[in-house]
Amino acid sequence: QQPVQSPQAVILREGEDAVINCSSSKALYSVHWYRQKHGEAPVFLMILLKGGEQKGHDKISASFNEKKQQSSLYLTASQLSYSGTYFCGTETPNSNSGYALNFGKGTSLLVTP
């Protein structure tokens, strides 16, 4: 089941903050966040497994709500290099695909000077 991402697109000035949301109608096993640049493969950012978990590195962090149905990715003091499309990939319990990820439609982020 494909998770729902919002917003579809966002334009920021360098230094501004952004939040990208990913939600599911069912409880998830995990949420994976990726960033993809045009014509390239997705690059792993982080994974969240536990309800209520928050984690991050540098100025990118993410949270996973207690019910494990919603995750948010936080980009603070954005840099030009943050531009790209952000995808959340989700795992559902007892998936027949065994750890395969269902990806949201993506959020296009553009950071301008």
Partner 1 sequence: GAVVSQHPSWVICKSGTSVKIECRSLDFQATTMFWYRQFPKQSLMLMATSNEGSKATYEQGVEKDKFLINHASLTLSTLTVTSAHPEDSSFYICSARDSWGQGDREQFFGPGTRLTVL
Question: Which CB, 30 or 72, lies closer to partner 1?
Answer: 30
Output the smallest distance, CB 6 to partner 1, in A: 14
Q: What angle do CA 77, 31, 104 make, to 5 degrees?
A: 85
| 113 DSSP assignment | -
Question: What CA–CA distance (Å, rounded) separates 4 from 1?
Answer: 9
Question: Which CB, 41 or 113, lies closer to partner 1?
Answer: 41
Please give the residue ranges that form the binding site for partner 1 (CB under 8 A): 2, 30, 32, 34, 39-44, 47, 49, 87, 89, 91, 96-106
Question: Which CB, 13 or 99, lies closer to partner 1?
Answer: 99
Q: Is 80 helix (H, G, I), strand (E, B) or coil?
A: helix
